[in-house]
Structure 1
Amino acid sequence: MVAGLRMKPDILREASARAYEAGAALLLAFEFQVHGLPDPLMPVIDGVGLLPVPSTVLGACASTDPVEQALSALPDAELEVALGAGALPLVEALGGAVSAAGRLDIFERLIGMVHFEPDPYGCKGGLTGPELLAVLDTLDRRGAMFGERPAFAYGVRNWNRRSVAAALGAPGSGVTFCREADEAIAAARRENGRVLAWAGQASPGHEASAQRAGVEFWRIEDGFLRSVGLGAGLVGGASYAVDPLGIYFDATRASRFEELVRGRNLSPSERRRARSLRSRLCDSGLTKYNLAAGEQVAIPEGSGELILVPGQVSDDAGVRRTISDVIDCTGEENVNLALLRNVRARNPSARILYKPHPDVEAGLRKGAIPDAEMAGLVDGIVRGAGILETLHAVDRVETFSSLAGFEALLRDVPVTVHGMPFYAGWGVSEDLTLSPARRSGGADLDTLVHAAYVDYPFCIDPLTLRPCPPEILLSRLSELRGSRGHRVAMGVRQRLSWLGRRIGI
């Protein structure tokens, strides 16, 4: 993939002169085109970038015309610059002689100063250079993952299908939704496609049938940065995990997530990106569901360690298909109650806060514990406050396999794990269960962040339904969270979901 920087003297003169007259930094204006993208999002990205010219270009020349100085510093009117290692011609043209080893770093510094228009997502202010590179990376990964083979999905709820099709459809072919696994497998065999099975609906029998038919069988599931609103409240997702091996929450077998993490050594740019994403997640207060901030956390009296125990949906596949040395995750009727008993036994003098899962608290899913059964096990129940307000108030988290444990790690809150979620077994949490040998190599938090938000899921902008990188999704979720119209619509959907479940729809 090649990005062409076509230097236009007239554009350069106009933009640079305006900036110079306004006392701003001298700008280099150029047309930016990226060709050959096999994706319906943007077959050709075409826009105008504005790049501040380093002072080394101007030098100590006596000329009073900075535009002429900038033009004279360029070897010719057109430069073709390959993304990444091919950036040296541009670097040298701008006066920054550099060794081959430093090309990518210098290019990233330069692209970090670029402002790109038009923005395909319609966000205010256009795309920055790093955001543009993230978009290109997303389109590259989509092409490499999906190719051009059609997909046939089953187990996907009707209200979620539009988002799934936008996120996971192969360029030019899309996703066909089927009622049953057998129908999807037969269609995939007939059309030389693949099956996308919603992970909670996939069974070993389905997978065996696909193997006999010679059909690829991939599991899909919500990603870790999903939406503003609950899935059980009929809010479509904006991020989906895709896994040809297993699925991230199933510790009984290998997964693509483990493959992405095991033995991974992040490059300097990947590490910077992971840290930037983590910082933005924490600073913006974004989580998986991004529910409205609630009441302040009521802190129990006393001086003991304050521990948060996040509840889960008791019959969720992420509970039933993990592994644990301390809780029978398949036999316990309600894992939440067993977890509270374990936590109290381990921490007799601690102050324990229990926070029910939002789907359970909304009456949409199983896992509720009667208050009487929690007597003596907890010192407080968090009902009105959000997960982030609660994490900021506690000393530590003990969880079975909740994503809240990962969100705590992102915010430097220590976590003890009773099951084996995707973030356990790598050395970043205290694990009460022996981890699979597949995770024995360990990994740092930066690597887990990069895998969880960049490598493993595929994201879409929930407004335009165009594929996007997590950086764009973060911006859009922040915007939606502040939208009164979206909050009203979310409330209506949640009430409809509650009513539908009550009458058996």
Structure 2
Amino acid sequence: MKIPHLAPLAGVDQLVFRPGDARAREVDAVLGWGFKPSSRAAEAYARRHDKPLWRAEDGFLRSVGLGVSGAPPLSIVLDDRGIYYDAREPSKLERILAEDDDLEDPELLARARRAIDRIVAEGLSKYNDAPVGPVTLGEPEADAKGRVLVVDQTAGDLSVARGLADATSFRRMLEAALDENPGAEVVVKTHPDVLAGKKRGYLERAAGDRVRLFARPGSPMPLMREVDRVYVVTSQVGFEALMAGTEVTCFGAPWYSGWGATDDRVAVGRRGRARSVEALFAAAYLRYARYLHPTRRTAGELEDVIEHLALQRRVFALNQGRLFCLGFHFWKNSYMRHYLRCPGNEVLFPWNARDAERRGLDRDSRILVWGQRESAAVRSLAARHDIAITRVEDGFLRSVGLGSDLAVPASLVFDSRGIYYDPTGPSDLEHLLEQGRFDDEELARAKALRERIVAAGLSKYNVGRGEVFEVPAGRRVALVPGQVEGDASVRLGCRDVRTNLALIEAARAARPDAFLVYKPHPDVLAGNRPGKVEPADTARLCDHVETRASLADCLDRADEVHTMTSLVGFEALLRQKQVFAYGQPFYAGWGLTEDRHPPARRTRRLTLDELVAGAMIRYPRYLDRESGAFTTPEAVIDQLVAERAEATDRDVQIPWARRQLRKLERAVRGLLPS
């Protein structure tokens, strides 16, 4: 079984694949996959060595993609009695439902209800890779008296035969749906594996005056609002219908039938205890299934998987359509495909505006550019088709390593109004901070997030060593972070102070008695960008020039920060330091900084946690660079801390030639298909 992280999913310390008879003493139990042919070897081994046999299967909230397409599961079930879909014999799940009085615990049922509500609200299902957007059956026929849904399954599905059903069950189900709902429209829903061309269904050719095939991908959950009843044989969609409050009729014996929640046409004598939908859910999703934490790759909880799948769907919704990425450096193409991932969309990288039109750009397309680097031809193209340009930039938690060294970013921002570093016009971030409302839960999350960043000593690039400079006793430390002088944030966000030398001079004028520490920008220090200050000038104006210590260590020593538009000012605010802004960075103008030129559009007074919630939780998009999934800022913090601990190179200190080789490797990777 090629399942990543199977050991934590199964809750075992060690997995031994295909152990020989000589290793039987090392084995506590034997694991086989359901009743598939591959499980026969496991059954024989367990019998031969008198070991317990565990049968594994996919869980009920499995993954984003389809199992038949190779998507790894985030949930499995393990059963030491049988397996949940085999109604011919008892299973662990059946025993839980029949015998466990704990299923009526009010706290457990309340947890189940909260999870059900989240699953229904987010439209989650076993698989979650269907195109996003409104899923609807459409308007019923004018003379239709209601509508019912009939759920098809894949031919040969083990849950059919082992659910006391066969091919005739599907025919009888369709006939009953027609007979029992006179005048109603009967919609037959095709299975996702059939839509993907991987398998065949039982009702692919269903036809009749009132019968309509629904062969579109999409979560079944929204469909439940449009039907009066759902008919299934053994499909899990039946239980999803129960969660949505829709009546269900079963023509086989799925795990959730026989407990009083469904209309059953096949009886299972062992079942009879009445269970609510919440109790059924608690048994199957909370007691029976096991989960993998999506980012830590350790044993997790149902809620971890719900939030992860919901996050994927929310970002998918932002990535719909045909997306034309214009003017991107080619090495960014590979990771941009990950950030723009969405089932059913198309991401294109045309050479120029003319190539974009040749490839079918129209007013329903979207145009993305990096920062403000689009050509006049691209602006004209967007205007002709009435398309708002979306601008992309690095997020505020980026990488271990420099952007100019082509390190893949852990976060990006996508802005449809402008871009956060350009105060000459509005941006999505400015709009969010001026108009957005943050509840107590989000503010508590923001507080915990900034405290975690500070405790971990993180910054945007996370380069430099853990060394600190000495400060004479009694001197107030003013940190002056250098910037890349050609940077757009300096060009657009500064007026009178526009160079690193001018910034140092302004800081010295403002704080003549301070211990002034100048820290050059790491890209400038690495020789990748302009902005060098001559040693004679730093010797005249500064008490110390710091080139080795990490930014986080410098901020810990500083009492205040003087900056043009650097993100260091924001990182200083996270550490509750005093910040003097000589330009108009995104964090200025909200009452948290001393501003030389307050931005006129920013009238709201924010708390630090409101600023963090907007800038670090809502505005950026975060990527798990190991799995390619969208993730949270909290997960990125954990990953950056781990990467920094494992890093062998010291970024700006490594030899120039080796750094160029690493950049070449990353550039070539951008040319390869992802």
Aligned equivalent of 1:459? 622
Aligned equivalent of 1:71? 103
CA distance in 1, matches of 2:462, 2:663: 23
Flag the 1:268–1:47 CA change in 2: closer, same or farther, 3 A: farther
Give the alignment of 1:365-384 within 5 angstroms. 365-384=529-548
1:490 to partner: Cα distance? 11
Flag the 1:434–1:228 CA change in 2: closer, same or farther, 3 A: same
CA distance in 2, matches of 1:494, 1:451: 40
1:171 to partner: Cα distance? 3.1
Aligned equivalent of 1:315? 486
Q: Does 1:168 align with 2:344?
A: no
Flag the 1:490–1:375 CA change in 2: closer, same or farther, 3 A: closer
Aligned equivalent of 1:118? 292
Residues 402-411 or 447-456, more deviating: 447-456
Match of 1:386 among 550, 559, 565: 550
Percent of aligned pairs sharing the same letter: 32
Residues 423-432 or 134-143, more deviating: 134-143
Aligned equivalent of 1:139? 312
Amino acid at match of 1:348: P
Aligned equivalent of 1:422? 586
Amino acid at match of 2:468: Q
CA distance in 2, matches of 1:358, 1:380: 16
Greater relative CO, 1 or 2 (CA 8 Å, sep 6+): 1
* 8 Å contact from structure 1 (residues 293, 385) kept in 2: yes
Match of 1:446 among 609, 618, 626: 609
Flag the 1:477–1:205 CA change in 2: closer, same or farther, 3 A: same
* 8 Å contact from structure 2 (residues 322, 345) kept in 1: yes
Aligned equivalent of 1:94? none
1:364 to partner: Cα distance? 0.9
1:254 to partner: Cα distance? 0.5
Flag the 1:293–1:192 CA change in 2: closer, same or farther, 3 A: same
CA distance in 2, matches of 1:500, 1:282: 29
* 8 Å contact from structure 2 (residues 395, 620) kept in 1: yes
Where 2:422 maps in the other structure, the secondary structure is coil
1:34 to partner: Cα distance? 7.5
CA shift digits 1:291-335 (9 cap, x unpaired): 243422233x464421000000010111112143x42x4xxxxx1
Aligned equivalent of 2:565? 401
Where 2:404 maps in the other structure, the secondary structure is coil
CA distance in 2, matches of 1:41, 1:297: 52
Flag the 1:176–1:490 CA change in 2: closer, same or farther, 3 A: farther
Q: Does 1:340 align with 2:504?
A: yes
Flag the 1:463–1:43 CA change in 2: closer, same or farther, 3 A: closer
Unaligned regions of 5+ residues in structure 1, if any? 1-10, 12-29, 50-66, 91-110, 330-334
Amino acid at match of 1:391: L
Q: Does 1:349 align with 2:513?
A: yes
1:238 to partner: Cα distance? 1.8
Where 1:365 maps in the other structure, the secondary structure is coil
1:221 to partner: Cα distance? 0.5
Give the alignment of 1:211-360 within 5 angstroms. 211-299=383-471, 301=472, 303-324=474-495, 326-327=496-497, 329=498, 335-360=499-524
CA shift digits 1:375-422 (9 cap, x unpaired): 321111011111011011111101000001101110111111000111
* 8 Å contact from structure 2 (residues 588, 598) kept in 1: no
CA shift digits 1:278-297 (9 cap, x unpaired): 12211222221122434222
Where 1:201 maps in the other structure, the secondary structure is coil
1:198 to partner: Cα distance? 0.4
Match of 2:118 among 83, 89, 101: 83
* 8 Å contact from structure 2 (residues 311, 631) kept in 1: yes
Match of 1:33 among 35, 56, 61: 61
Match of 1:149 among 321, 331, 336: 321
- What is the number of equivalent residue pairs in this alignment? 423
Q: How well do the aligned residues superpose, as a CA RMSD in angstroms?
A: 3.9
CA shift digits 1:70-107 (9 cap, x unpaired): 1344799x9671119989x99xxxxxxxxxxxxxxxxx
CA distance in 2, matches of 1:204, 1:323: 24
Where 2:541 maps in the other structure, the secondary structure is coil
Aligned equivalent of 2:660? 497
CA distance in 2, matches of 1:419, 1:243: 21
1:134 to partner: Cα distance? 4.5
1:32 to partner: Cα distance? 5.5
1:453 to partner: Cα distance? 1.8
CA distance in 2, matches of 1:155, 1:265: 35
Flag the 1:159–1:117 CA change in 2: closer, same or farther, 3 A: same
CA distance in 1, matches of 2:416, 2:607: 24
* 8 Å contact from structure 1 (residues 419, 432) kept in 2: yes
Amino acid at match of 2:318: M
Unaligned regions of 5+ residues in structure 2, if any? 1-10, 12-57, 79-98, 123-241, 244-284, 669-674
1:258 to partner: Cα distance? 1.0
Flag the 1:353–1:194 CA change in 2: closer, same or farther, 3 A: same
1:348 to partner: Cα distance? 1.6
Residues 242-251 or 255-264, more deviating: 255-264
Residues 492-501 or 309-318, more deviating: 492-501
1:116 to partner: Cα distance? 6.4
Amino acid at match of 2:562: E
* 8 Å contact from structure 1 (residues 233, 493) kept in 2: no
Amino acid at match of 1:117: Y
* 8 Å contact from structure 1 (residues 307, 352) kept in 2: yes
CA distance in 2, matches of 1:125, 1:492: 37
CA shift digits 1:464-486 (9 cap, x unpaired): 22221222222222221122467
* 8 Å contact from structure 1 (residues 249, 322) kept in 2: yes
Aligned equivalent of 2:596? 432
